[in-house]
Structure 1
């Protein structure tokens, strides 16, 4: 495992809750935290409950208390050259109070391998994306599921109307998988007469998604299967919180937590006045981006990416961090030296570095790096470029890696696939990524940043068999790899817990699997993780 080097001088910045650019609704980045007074759950409307009709085929067409049975279909896939026969189950898990009152219908799609006679030997992976406000379509049709959206090998979009293909690198050969859409995403909805707001918040989300996981394990007899959580982006925030919540609430113990594009400590990604954490933690990704776009000086440009990153990481944790700690007490000579080195590692002009006072925010970097060419770079994947209305301004008008690339293909894929192959006929719009969850309630962390790393540490302390896999993309400017390393190196884990955390790295962005070589490498890494954990399950640990 690779851990971030210890900081020579720790940050001494007090946390404060504030909003940030991430409120724009990008799928990949974690959300901005609203002011403490905002985001309280709204009151439920007082309209009378009226069950809504089902269509002639029996499929639900609205947010009704009456839901049909899940739809079951049989399929065959070829994964890593092997034929896998499997069953797909698409439908709703209805969340109800203990007196039986329906609260919400949570849409899920489960894939289970046929012919398995002993479910205690077959892992089950509960999977979701982030946002918050994102459906699970990205991991479903980009990485784990039996079908994947067709992109170029580099992850570039094809012409519409888009296609999906067999996923030769699905994880279904190693684990059964259930994809969960949190309330107000995908086809999931609060039932009539229930307010969406009761599900829109950190703690509210843990309860609803946690209950959906418990309900699936109960209905489909998977309590004795090895259990994994897999989340991406804010889904890693959710997964870390769920690791402790499921364990303490339902005694639902996990074997593994998979964190793709991880963000557990929101302070590492909030460019707020007075919070200097993000600047050194984002810097290596700025450097990787500049290297990819050939904007670095020849001495760095000629080196392999990892050797360039090794240099900038030392600078970020040492000299740069120390300079930020000194603030206005930094001497003029040291200030000029920092300007030179930041320009060297970012590809930005010295004049621009001075204009930012040594603090380049992510949006400014995305706009500035290729401004002279009339191009911006992506936030979710900084390999992508876009072109704004004009070249002025301090940030891009859109994220070329999100709005300009992935949203259309994934939306087309799931809307066709659900009806045509899963036979789930639903007239609701499938909410890919919406703003319907705003404002997200962070009242549990008033006057401070959300940090769920401690929840994961507690889960690992109580459950000594819990393994954690952290997958990072070098070109991810939403949840940078160096910030993830920093978070884990400051969790206070004991040596035996640290041995259960593994970091892997890919020359890709936030959606690591959008880059085909990284997709293939992730499959190899996933196979190794499942094999290791299942060997532990089957044979135990010798002391």
Structure 2
């Protein structure tokens, strides 16, 4: 196994977990399926239905179209048959923006974004964290940004209705470039089929999708299609700042704001004299200053300094100074999640939620059933077309995911550099990055570190914190705020 692949093995588990929904819409163990066992899907002609809805106070008449696109591999041979779902305003012209949206995985269906934020119906997750998930219903999604843009949902091969081409091994698509190639070819083919060449194109990716987005945008640019904007939710482009190797002291410093947010939420810290935002900001400042400098000193830090820092970490996180000292001031996010409430675990995707000691939860909505009913009953996809799969495809080859990066120990990952190049080369391009306060998989501090260290032209960039976890839009107020931020972006108000 190449050195770089070995280096990424611990990150693969993180990337897999990042596909899972947050809070009530999360699973402690992902639903996996061997892609070779998936049934074939047959949608030889587009299925189009007419609808209307009220979005951001505006009535929009729109068509929903479910259709198939063929893609090829780098060798030009058939690779996949992708099935997209598009919501297109009846009045749409070539000036109307298009948002191509996708979740993560690697290789996961885009049901969370589809039924949580962007589609005309959303799975209503109540603010009651103890509500029974079986009672969650699809409701009209008044927050969907369909008032300002058409939406195209991308499901990679072996998810949703998308499948690899006949005779193609599913694992042939298990690489960052092959995966992004699917998306780039879908965007190009979709624009051509619908006569929308020249329309503003935005890519919206979540979790692993935030790695897919810059790679696909780079491929699109090389093919002559400029992307007008990228939206990254639960971003992981600087993934090393999320994976807490013991000697990566930056990762501990940038995780402190999230631990502080969780300590505040669970009532483990003294809230007097602070607002929530002030408290988290103070933790962020302490993390990048006194905490980081002490970690840098390591065993050269005096006992007094270490005790002082441990006491401060206790005040920010609610875990005792002794616990911090025993961990050499390096308590990981995973350790924190297990120690804050002995016998229970904070959900990594949304730390507001408590799991049992084995990390299990019974409150997991059946996304597959939700999607199947919706496609059959609302979008009129015939049953004989095949089944919609929300499971993550795996096989004996899955851990050999090809990250396509320099395999030398001196190599680096390309995603931040790709974003920088895209922004610098296209002053019209905009980048919106959003993370949830309670997401310990992709943290707000690492997002801030990305913005500070990336070399991005910051007049083209906005970063946002949202109440919630990895899928912050399961909180309705956050769904509304995020949708408004998307509207401002596509309206070019910044």
TM norm structure 1: 0.81
Distance across 1 between alignment mates of 2:460 and 2:197: 23
Corresponding residue for residue 346 of structure 2: 377
**2:449 equivalent to 1:486:** yes
| Alpha-carbon distance in structure 2 between the residues aligned to 1:21 and 1:531 | 36
Check if 1:139 corresponds to 2:113. yes
Q: Distance in 1 between matches of 2:11 and 2:429?
A: 34
CA spacing shift, 1:211–1:414, aligned 2, 3 Å: same
Q: Which moved more, 1:135-144 or 1:343-352?
A: 343-352
Match of 1:132, SS state, is: coil
Partner of 1:69: 45
Match of 1:256? Answer: 229
Distance 1:485 1:451, change over 3 A: farther
The aligned counterpart of 1:303 is: 274
In structure 1, what is the Cα distance between the partners aligned to 2:6 and 2:248?
Answer: 8
Q: What is residue 171 of structure 1 aligned with on the other side?
A: 145
Q: Which residue does the alignment assign to 2:467? A: 507
Match of 1:527 among 467, 487, 494: 487
Give the corresponding residue for 1:237. Answer: 211
1:350-389 counterparts in 2 under 5 A? 350-371=321-342, 374-388=343-357
Distance change >3 Å, CA 431–CA 308, structure 1 → 2? same
1:428 aligned onto 2:369:
no
Q: 2:458 and 2:210 mapped to 1: Cα distance?
A: 18
Shift of 1:97: 6.1
CA deviations on 1:448-474 (whole Å, 9 max, x unpaired) are: 553511101101111111011111211
| Secondary structure at 2:247 match in 1 | coil
Following superposition, the deviation at residue 434 of structure 1 comes to: 4.5
**Which stretch shifts more, 15-24 or 457-466?**
15-24
For the structure 1 residues 99 and 384, does the alpha-carbon distance in structure 2 shift closer, same or farther, using more than 3 Å as the test?
closer
**Which residue pairs with 1:83 in the alignment?**
59
1:351, 1:205 → 2: CA distance? Answer: 46
Does structure 1 retain, via aligned residues, the 8 Å contact 2:19–2:106? no
Could you say if the C-alpha distance between residues 98 and 385 of structure 1 is closer, same or farther in structure 2, counting changes exceeding 3 Å? closer
What is the TM-score with the length of structure 2 in the denominator? 0.88
1:43-84 CA-to-partner distances (Å, cap 9, x unmatched) read: xx9xxxxxxxxxxxxxxx9447x7511211111112233321
Deviation at 1:275, TM superposition (A): 2.1
Structure 2 residues without counterparts, runs of 5 or longer: 22-35
Counterpart-to-counterpart distance in 2, 1:435 and 1:328: 43
Q: What's the counterpart of residue 458 of structure 2?
A: 498
Asked if 1:347 is matched to 2:318, the reply is yes
SS in 2 for 1:499: helix
Partner residue, 1:48: none
Whose radius of gyration is greater, 1 or 2? 1
Q: Find the counterpart in structure 1 of residue 10 from structure 2.
A: 20
Structure 1 stretches of 5 or more lacking a match? 1-13, 31-44, 46-60, 390-396, 537-543
TM-aligned CA distance change 1:365 to 1:506, over 3 Å? same
Q: Aligned partners of 2:365, 2:125: CA distance in 1, in Å?
A: 12
Distance 1:342 1:98 in 2: 50
Quote the offset at 1:233 in angstroms: 1.1
Distance 1:432 1:91, change over 3 A: farther
Partner of 1:470: 433
Q: Given that residues 184 and 216 in structure 2 are in contact (C-alpha distance below 8 angstroms), is that contact kept between their aligned partners in structure 1?
A: yes
- The corresponding residue for 1:106 is 82
